[in-house]
Amino acid sequence: MSHYHPLTEQEAIDYARRLPDVFPSNAELSSREIGDGNLNLVFHITDSVSGRSLILKQALPYAKVVGESWPLSLDRSRIESEALVVQEALCPGLVPHVYTYDTELALTVMEDLSDHVIMRRGLVEGNRYPLFAEHIGHFLAHTLFYTSDWGMNQQEKKERLGRFINPDLCKITEDLIFDDPYRDAETNNIHEPIRPDVEKLWADQELLLEVAFLREKFLTHAQALLHGDLHTGSIFVTPESTKVIDPEFAYYGPMGFDIGAVLANLLLNYCGQAGWKSDQADLESFRNYLLETVEAVWTRFEQEFRALWEEKTVDRMARTPGFLDSFLARLLQDTFGFTGAKMVRRIHGLAQVADINRIEDAGVRAVAERTALHIGTALIKHNRQAADIKEMTDLARRAVQLHS
Amino acid sequence: MSHYHPLTEQEAIDYARRLPDVFPSNAELSSREIGDGNLNLVFHITDSVSGRSLILKQALPYAKVVGESWPLSLDRSRIESEALVVQEALCPGLVPHVYTYDTELALTVMEDLSDHVIMRRGLVEGNRYPLFAEHIGHFLAHTLFYTSDWGMNQQEKKERLGRFINPDLCKITEDLIFDDPYRDAETNNIHEPIRPDVEKLWADQELLLEVAFLREKFLTHAQALLHGDLHTGSIFVTPESTKVIDPEFAYYGPMGFDIGAVLANLLLNYCGQAGWKSDQADLESFRNYLLETVEAVWTRFEQEFRALWEEKTVDRMARTPGFLDSFLARLLQDTFGFTGAKMVRRIHGLAQVADINRIEDAGVRAVAERTALHIGTALIKHNRQAADIKEMTDLARRAVQLHS
């Protein structure tokens, strides 16, 4: 079975049975393919005798979303498993444990998290996760600090960067986030009622210039090992637990890209909630919870990152008074910009979000889309002036008022 | 002979004799080890019969300058030969041709350039190179543009970046340029008369903060494949020809680092000329020539880089009006900063320059050193406000007046 081919469910069961020390010899294994992504097979293997379970995630050599015509390197599977190992070492408990990785099959065997729910779904259903901001702020601070030139040996960082060269998946981001949404691209998927808004955006030279600067940072600023796709569909949650999954887009890039991904997806849910909550007081309360979470994620990240830097930085020059303040000020600005870019691409780009595009009422959906485009473009244009995370939540609040 | 060991001169001759199609069968070969660097053996092989010659350059597994205790990866030799191949493809005639590379021996066989002189020596001797600015401006524009995300396929750029991960040699730069000169480090080599000036520099918080920002750029801004050590000791010249050699420090870094290396070494020679020219009119004229060359290098680079970008960029978003102007404005600022950093490290750091430290009169030498420290620190502090290359030459002119 070692030559690469996409596994059948029976092959996945056979593979799982042969893993040492996982299932008892009398196990009765069953498999369910639960991949809802576009790039992978995900087999959920369970033993009805012991109750044990695990996940086999196998990379496909193409992107399903556009058929087999978009080939993708299987090396992203190695990158994902190695990123998970790095992240688990830095943040035990916040990512699924990797049992083993099979290079030939591009297959990762990992902890089953099916007692968690995908955060995007949880938020659409109106659930709150009171520990999420603390968990993800910790995750961001530790993974970004300890993989950067400030938190690890600077020569080892260069070698690690070499192991996370990820051209195929970076290309997806470069196209779908930093190019296609800003032109009349075939990949776009425009909800007709907002076409005039989208066309206005394509002509906004001030916006396009700021997007070009953000694209430049994505292409050239090798600050830290990013997750690379840290939206709420890549996060499993319960009220007590947070698990970050799917780091197949991992590469060395600008820290603000990961932070912005989290904040953007909270704000997308914020924009979409009018389609999910009919009670006005409930809607307002949940939206306040989301904006408080946006602020808390940054604040927690910033506190922990600052503390790590002050105690642990390996870079003598970076201890010069003023450097860390400048670094964090610039990081907040990057975060504003990337938050905006991550919002815009989800409104009329190829890959959209259920928080908004599953709203059945086309009018309500269009309002959510306009609100998200408003917030996204305003964050992008404001990014290099941003000085406080509250500017982001104030802007979001005003946008909802304006569009309701 | 294939197992790595430093070659003897006889082994170098035997190796050269076995190269196909280089020397005739009746060749009478002799070898001279001419390495004046710190990291390599350089054998000059000549055939007294045909008059043909070539260079065998072999990496040593340690830095000679501090004895065998500073180990260095032999992989830098592969990096050097691959960088030369990339550079020759982009700028034919401006680098030595590589005939072959021997991985086992860390040995590059390349074109002999002994009809040229090392530019540092030529400038110390008061020679002018009227085509230099045009040549090096062209070299910088083409190598930096065509290895960047703006001038080459962005996925191939990532793979190429992976081939130029260069931890050992980057570490030398990080220590000797962006750390040690700014503290009382053992590696420093301080000419006693200027010790008070150096100690003042160590306490200058504004300066230290800017150096920390430049260090950050060196560590994280993967803009283009740099030469990485482009001082006038890495350039062979005649009045008609320019050849850039020794790219063993090549890695993906900020473009301004290479441009700054060239300008810094022109300015170091400018500071040192009072030690070499006794006639005041001659001195003034040569200094004017050097400052004109500083301006011409940037101007030529900027013209060619702009033209390449406008005609050839592969990045649609980077064609947004305003982007190129912003990019070049920031690049000029980086160039000011790196020029300053490259000057300061040559005054009291480990590796100094003959333009200044071979001046026999200690008083004249100290004036040259103070002038260079003045210009270097002023460029570093001014870098983020710089808007015109003339600010650099004006500053240099005022510094000489102040210290003479």
Condensed to tens digits (0 to 9), the pLDDT of residues A316-372 reads 999 999 999 999 999 999 999 999 999 999 999 999 999 999 999 999 999 999 999
Residues A394 and A249 placed together within one structural domain of the fold: yes
Supply the pLDDT for residue A36: 66
Contacts of A318 in chain B (CB under 8 A): 212, 215-216
Residues A208 and A339 placed together within one structural domain of the fold: yes
Residues A230 and A375 placed together within one structural domain of the fold: yes
* Mean per-residue pLDDT, B187-211: 97
Does B321 sit within 8 Å of A209, measured CB to CB?
Answer: yes
Final residue in a domain of this structure, among A61, A80, A111:
A111
Is residue B344 pLDDT above 60, yes or no? yes
Final residue in a domain of this structure, among B91, B111, B131:
B111
- How much of chain B is helix, strand and coil, in % rounded to 5? 55, 10, 30
Compute the distance between CA of residue A40 and CA of residue A61 in angstroms, rounded to an integer: 9
Contacts of A322 in chain B (CB under 8 A): 205, 209
Helix (H) or strand (E) holding B338: helix B323-348
Point out the residue among A209, A215, A220 whose CB comes nearest to the CB of B222. Answer: A220
Phi, psi of B315 (to 5 degrees): -105, 110
Please report the ipTM that was assigned to this predicted complex: 0.96
Sheet architecture: strand order including A242-244: A117-118, A235-237, A242-244
Point out the residue among B158, B165, B318 whose CB comes nearest to the CB of A170. Answer: B158
Domain span including residue A104: 9-111
Q: CB contact, 8 Å: A203 with chain B?
A: no
- Nearest-5° Cα angle at A259, A253 to A265: 120
Name the DSSP class of A282: H
* CATH number (domain holding residue B289): 3.90.1200.10
Tell me the C-alpha to C-alpha distance, in Å, between residue A354 and each of A136, A231, A233, B349: 21, 12, 10, 59
Q: CB contact, 8 Å: A184 with chain B?
A: no
Residues A368 and A272 placed together within one structural domain of the fold: yes
What lies within 8 Å, CB to CB, of B306 at 6+ separation is B324, B328
**Strand, helix or coil at A46?**
strand
Supply the pLDDT for residue B70: 74
Does B174 sit within 8 Å of A154, measured CB to CB?
Answer: yes
Supply the pLDDT for residue B35: 83
Supply the pLDDT for residue A67: 55
Residues B220 and B128 placed together within one structural domain of the fold: yes
The closest of B237, B240, B391, B378 to B329, measured between CA atoms, is: B391
Residues B107 and B183 placed together within one structural domain of the fold: no
Percentage of residues of chain B with pLDDT beyond 90: 93
Of the residues A147, A219, A384, the best mutation for testing chain B's interface (the one with the most B CB atoms within 10 Å of its CB) is A219
Supply the pLDDT for residue B139: 98
Q: Has residue B2 been placed in a domain?
A: no
Supply the pLDDT for residue A62: 83
* pLDDT tens digits for range B256-296: 999 999 999 999 999 999 999 999 999 999 999 999 999 99
What lies within 8 Å, CB to CB, of A104 at 6+ separation is A2, A3, A4
Q: Has residue B240 been placed in a domain?
A: yes
> Picking from A50-64, A350-364, B153-167, B174-188, which range would have the lowest pLDDT averaged per residue?
A50-64
Compute the distance between CA of residue A123 and CA of residue A273 in angstroms, rounded to an integer: 9
Supply the pLDDT for residue B66: 57
Is residue B71 pLDDT above 70, yes or no? yes
Is residue B81 pLDDT above 60, yes or no? yes
**β-bridge partners, B251:** B226
Neighbours of A129 (CB within 10 A): 22
Compute the distance between CA of residue B149 and CA of residue B144 in angstroms, rounded to an integer: 10
- Nearest-Cα distance to chain B for A164, in Å, is 9
Residues A91 and A142 placed together within one structural domain of the fold: no
Is residue B65 pLDDT above 70, yes or no? no
Q: Has residue A182 been placed in a domain?
A: yes
The closest of A385, A392, A356, A142 to A263, measured between CA atoms, is: A392
Contacts of A179 in chain B (CB under 8 A): 316-317
Supply the pLDDT for residue A400: 97
Of the residues A320, A326, A384, the best mutation for testing chain B's interface (the one with the most B CB atoms within 10 Å of its CB) is A320
Question: What is the count of structural domains for chain B?
Answer: 2
Is residue B67 pLDDT above 60, yes or no? no
Q: CB contact, 8 Å: A320 with chain B?
A: yes
Residues A192 and A127 placed together within one structural domain of the fold: yes
Residues A339 and A234 placed together within one structural domain of the fold: yes
Does B158 sit within 8 Å of A166, measured CB to CB?
Answer: yes
More confident residue, B240 or B2: B240
Q: Has residue A92 been placed in a domain?
A: yes
Contacts of B151 in chain A (CB under 8 A): none
Half-sphere exposure of A265 toward its Cβ, with a 13 Å CA cutoff? 24
Supply the pLDDT for residue A398: 98
Percentage of residues of chain A with pLDDT beyond 90: 93
Residues B342 and B204 placed together within one structural domain of the fold: yes
Supply the pLDDT for residue B72: 84
Q: Has residue A4 been placed in a domain?
A: no
Is residue B2 pLDDT above 90, yes or no? no
Show the tokens assigned to A393.
Answer: 């939540």
Is residue B1 pLDDT above 80, yes or no? no
Residues B369 and B235 placed together within one structural domain of the fold: yes
Which stretches in chain A have pLDDT values below 70? 1-2, 36-37, 64-69
Q: Has residue B317 been placed in a domain?
A: yes
- Please check whether residue B365 is in contact with residue B356, taking contact to mean a CB–CB distance below 8 angstroms: yes
Alpha helices in B203-322 (DSSP H): 205-220, 255-272, 280-312
What is the pLDDT confidence band of residue B36, given thresholds at 50, 70 and 90? low
Does B155 sit within 8 Å of A170, measured CB to CB?
Answer: yes
Q: CB contact, 8 Å: B325 with chain A?
A: no
Final residue in a domain of this structure, among B111, B127, B152:
B111
Q: CB contact, 8 Å: B328 with chain A?
A: no
Supply the pLDDT for residue B48: 96
Q: Has residue A38 been placed in a domain?
A: yes
Residues B84 and B151 placed together within one structural domain of the fold: no
**Strand, helix or coil at A376?**
helix
Q: Has residue B172 been placed in a domain?
A: yes
* CATH number (domain holding residue B101): 3.30.200.20
